[in-house]
Amino acid sequence: MTGREPARDRWNRRFAAGGFEPFPDDPAKWLADHDALLCPLSPGRALDVACGNGRNALHLAGLGFEVDALDVSDFAIERLRAAAASRGLAIDARLADLERESPWQAASYDVVVDVDFLQRDLFPALQRALRPGGVLVFETFAQVHLDELGRRMNPAYVLATNELLYAFPSLVVSHYHEGVVHRGGAARGVAGLVARQPA
């Protein structure tokens, strides 16, 4: 076999190796830390981009949002659909290869969440996805992960210093952080942004 492993196969293999038993209940801390900002927008619609194990989609649905959860892994999507059904939560979990498409319309969502997924050419589409007054919650690996923690990652998937702060120029920044944090018992170097679409 030659060439790069297809994204769907790669993520199916990773998710099949663990992460769904038991199904994760705790959302990303950066998302949960801003519940007070999101709750006034509920009931509304939310988008979880590259939802992975679905923990953030489940959290948003628990806050009262109708959630569209997208991921390239059919393994992850099938398990999220089952978890949502068993909990009676309004989640439309769908397969999407975000390297090829951004399958949403402009001004469709009150909340957009992107955690641990970096695809820079999607930034304009994420910005447009928000309704007036809608909120973007974004957090992923940053240069500090390499510089301060000495970790190795493909630089294409790592934010440059202050890159996220200026990545969504039409949004109004509410909260921003960049540095080493502890997530799931491990140190990670991340940048996080919470920003609002002007009303």
pLDDT tens digits, residue range 137-180? 999 999 999 887 788 888 889 999 999 999 999 999 999 999 99
> What's the predicted TM-score (pTM) here?
0.90
User: What CA–CA distances, in Å, run from 170 to 4, 54, 127, 128, 149?
Assistant: 35, 28, 8, 9, 32
DSSP 29-78: HHHHTTHHHHGGG-SSEEEEET-TTSHHHHHHHHTT-EEEEEES-HHHHH
**Which domains, and CATH codes, for the chain?**
7-196 (3.40.50.150)
